Structure 1
Amino acid sequence: MSAVDTAWLRMDRPSNLMQIVGVMIFDGVLDEIRLRTAIEQRLLRFERFRQIIRQQGGSYVWSEDPDFRLDHHLRRAILPGAAGKAELEAFVADLASTPLNPSRPLWEMHLVDTSMGGQALVIRIHHSIADGIALVGVLLSMADDAPVPRLRPGGKAVRGEDEHDPFWLALWRPATDAMLNAIRLSTNLWAKYVGLATDPLKALEYTRLGSAMAGEIGKLLLMSDDTRTRFKGKPGTSKRVAWSAPISLPEVKAVGRVLGCSVNDMLLSSAAGALRAYLADKGDPVADVEIRAMVPVNLRQPEDEGLLGNRFGLVALELPVGVENPLARLYATRDRMLALKDSLQAPLTLSILGAVGMAPKFAQSKILDMLASKATAVMTNVPGPQQPVYVAGARLNQPLFWVPQSGDIGMGLSILSYDNRVQFGLVTDKGLVPDPESIVARFAGEFEKLLMLVLMEPWARLADPQAVEAELLA
């Protein structure tokens, strides 16, 4: 097991389990025979899903499970009561709070019957197997682009763009591009990314060679705490989960073009607005509030396509929750994303994970807890396929997933686009935020404030985003 994967394995604690949790909501019922076949042929071809973790001396190794059976990992579930969205959210939250069985491969799926017009597939996979980008892709590798897979001559099923280009890489590539474009890496910085992703211990070498890396280390060590709000505290062992109704991705893109902002800027700003509105509704002070979110950045290289494991770093983004004006908040978010353009935080955090994965566990806990104490949330933003996909004959309506929160971080925000729609999901600690549905319900409204600002502007001026910005902020 790699040093980075070892770090994620040892990060488990009762209050924050290191498992990636996802839910795929379908229109209609899945064909269970086809589902099992898809898992056997497309998921289990990755040996990690058939292996258990054994301790060997002072390290961990992957070992084939001699008692592996798919029935141990694929189960049926029936929701109580009305079996609607609230009951499904509660079921997902319970699973997010429950450890996986360490004597078996660290993943499982629950096929859930609902009253929402179809079934749901709830998935849990331990972070030591792979990072979120890889796992979302692996799960979507079980999907087809039609209810009945098309066949090539000779009877071979077609998935994705090409038989030599697995379906899930169509997700992985734009995710990589989006993350790299968001922080606008220069050629020189990308060379350092490659070096650090290949050998995390090169961080020490880069520290000796240049001031840029040393400066980033200093920033991480001296980073001040963000604003203490009700979102921050000592988490317990129970989670709460909620997700919003989707909003239109083409609308987000159109508004972003008018205002001179990226889709990423628009969505992050809307999330900040939703958090602000929740705090204000609770009567909490919101002026000058800054909430720091740790944002995963994909560091995979072309040769990593199709591989599992963890190959990502983290950057710290301060969400301007204290800014009341929605347009001012949007531009503050944009400016902060631009300020990360020369950041080496992502490869540095990958280096730290690699180093602490080889250190004693108590030392790992001290270092990672120090970093986690500087943040309130973990936030992911992943672009999925922009056309409908099908699993076992059923159309995927809404996919969501959450990465784990380390240390005492008690909130995970997830933004995922699919089929030209964007969905916002939230997982929280029950003791800190018992009603995450009150936050996600505000997400669309925060975007609609920006939409209304654009719609109210004279059309002749919309081609000049800088003029719009200057006048509306005046």
Structure 2
Amino acid sequence: MKTHEPLSGVDAAWLRMDDPTNLMTITAVLVLEDPIDVGTLKEVIEERLLGFTRFRQRVRDPEESPRWEMDPHFDLDRHVRRAALPGAADQEELKARVSDLMSDPLDRSKPLWHMELIEDYLGGSAIIVRLHHCIGDGIALVQVLLSLTDEHFDPARFPTTEHTGRLSGFVEGAWKTLKETATVGSRILAEGTESLLNPSHALHRAKQGMSLGAALSKFAFLGTDTDTVFKGDLQVAQKATWSGPLDLTTVKRIGHAIDAKVNDVLLGAVAGALRHYLEAHDEPTDGVVMRALVPVNLRPLEQAFELGNHFGLVFLNLPVGTKNRLERVMGVKKQMDEIKGSAEAGAAFGILEALGHFPIEVEEQAVRFFGNKASAVMTNVPGPQEQLHIKGRRVQNVMPWVPRAGHIGLGVSIFSYNGEVRLGIACDGHLVPDPDTIIEGFELEFDELAADLSPEA
């Protein structure tokens, strides 16, 4: 194992994008139906997480020539702590705690991750996880978190660990569960970008469709989207919230009824939720187009346990100004079909890789350039569709939030688990002081779509 392995260009780019108003930290909450104590959680982490070498490494010389090195002072107690919620200690207090932590930068003198355990939460426990984006992208980090569960853990543990974070003995057992996740979760939730999730498919389609040069030209000449309340100067305080569970079978039924992918239905519902927010604040909606940056996985699923970032970005215009909810879904579908034949994701990955090798001033200008062309970052990650446990405790739900680069103040995350879908919102607390209004709109949109397309309708 290399003792001073340099960060890849794209990992370095995400490290250097950190800003007090937009930290490049992926935050997630795992809610357990049964309580777990901090001692048991530390045992789980030591047994199931620390075999990933990256979680015992810190970044040296982050601004100039960033590289990984083993932390000579690594202490698990500095990365896992116990906390209690105030007042009623219910979901509202948990949302407030997550919001506060989103504004708190990780300590760069240590490995860039942290967990906080709420031992007593609604009869069970809640674990708030924070991981820096330079460690890995959403697909990789979700799989790392799932390795904490009984179903995704191989008792053979980590006989050998390569410097890249790839697991040798562990993969054989975990890959079985990952394949099940891929065949169920990916097929159901991410089918709207299925070809993009497979690099060979994406490259094949790129040869037939938009060239790399055309994709770069599109980025360069893309104008800004509509100026709405979601744009403006950012502040440090963040807000986090999430929806109740939506039935995945119902989402599939809606998609089948209008010949749309599940991904199209969910993103169309998000467009309706943002329209609902604007209407609730007496803001104009006619003709409004909100553009979102959407991460697209570019690694084979069997490599999901390798850390690092390997994804591109595509621009998606959300038809917020369209009045008819079915037309909003079909508008998303049309764009997603076009994106599947383009080289946009690969072009964006190449740009990010290059930026990591340029002076930080150049990177900041590029991030600002692309960030000004969008109002939100949206991610749609499929989770496993079976019930999970951590040391026998049932995992009730998992909610990850996507970080936002540049001056983008709104992050929208969709995650599926065990037959349910949840929407998470992470946003600038000044621009979007009441993100639960977006959640309200999303749940209303979903209910109305289901009612419109029910057999009795």
TM-score scaled to structure 1, two decimals?
Answer: 0.86
| Aligned equivalent of 1:190 | 200
| Aligned equivalent of 1:120 | 126
CA distance in 2, matches of 1:129, 1:293: 24
In structure 1, stretches of 5+ residues that fail to align are 153-158, 197-205, 459-474
Following superposition, the deviation at residue 163 of structure 1 comes to 2.4
Counterpart code for 2:264: D
Following superposition, the deviation at residue 104 of structure 1 comes to 0.6
Identity fraction in percent: 41
Aligned length: 439
Do structure 1's residue 44 and structure 2's residue 55 form an aligned pair?
no
Counterpart code for 2:143: G
| Aligned equivalent of 2:358 | 359
| Aligned equivalent of 1:260 | 259
CA distance in 2, matches of 1:187, 1:417: 17
**Secondary structure of 2:173 counterpart:** coil
| Aligned equivalent of 1:163 | 173
1:141-187 Cα shifts (integer Å, max 9, x gaps): 110249xx9989xxxxxx99972626456446766667985346499
Q: Where do 1:255-294 residues align within 5 Å?
A: 255-294=254-293
Task: Describe the shift of the 1:232–1:212 C-alpha distance in structure 2 as closer, same or farther (beyond 3 A).
Answer: same
Query: Is contact 1:326-1:450 (8 Å) kept?
Result: yes
CA distance in 2, matches of 1:402, 1:360: 29
CA distance in 1, matches of 2:273, 2:196: 33
CA distance in 2, matches of 1:151, 1:56: 35
**Secondary structure of 2:105 counterpart:** coil
**Secondary structure of 2:74 counterpart:** coil
Query: Is contact 2:190-2:263 (8 Å) kept?
Result: no
Flag the structure with larger Rg: 1
Query: Is contact 2:186-2:382 (8 Å) kept?
Result: no
Q: Where do 1:217-232 residues align within 5 Å?
A: 217-232=216-231
Q: Where do 1:301-312 residues align within 5 Å?
A: 301=300, 304-312=303-311
CA distance in 2, matches of 1:103, 1:168: 33
Task: Describe the shift of the 1:305–1:57 C-alpha distance in structure 2 as closer, same or farther (beyond 3 A).
Answer: closer
Do structure 1's residue 101 and structure 2's residue 101 form an aligned pair?
no
- State which drifts further: 304-313 or 5-14: 304-313
Task: Describe the shift of the 1:120–1:184 C-alpha distance in structure 2 as closer, same or farther (beyond 3 A).
Answer: closer
| Aligned equivalent of 2:21 | 15
CA distance in 2, matches of 1:136, 1:223: 32
In structure 2, stretches of 5+ residues that fail to align are 1-6, 157-168
Task: Describe the shift of the 1:191–1:129 C-alpha distance in structure 2 as closer, same or farther (beyond 3 A).
Answer: same
CA distance in 2, matches of 1:384, 1:187: 14
Query: Is contact 2:13-2:363 (8 Å) kept?
Result: yes
1:19-71 Cα shifts (integer Å, max 9, x gaps): 00001111120254442222112211111100111118941110111111111
Structural RMSD (CA): 2.9
Q: Where do 1:318-337 residues align within 5 Å?
A: 318-337=317-336
**Secondary structure of 1:380 counterpart:** strand
**Secondary structure of 1:416 counterpart:** strand
CA distance in 1, matches of 2:21, 2:143: 27
**Secondary structure of 1:37 counterpart:** helix
CA distance in 2, matches of 1:184, 1:123: 28
Do structure 1's residue 409 and structure 2's residue 408 form an aligned pair?
yes
Q: Where do 1:136-155 residues align within 5 Å?
A: 136-145=142-151
Counterpart code for 2:428: D
Do structure 1's residue 248 and structure 2's residue 247 form an aligned pair?
yes
Query: Is contact 2:382-2:417 (8 Å) kept?
Result: yes
1:287-310 Cα shifts (integer Å, max 9, x gaps): 111111111110013663421000
- State which drifts further: 282-291 or 105-114: 105-114
Out of 83, 88, 107, the residue aligned to residue 82 of structure 1 is 88
Following superposition, the deviation at residue 445 of structure 1 comes to 1.2
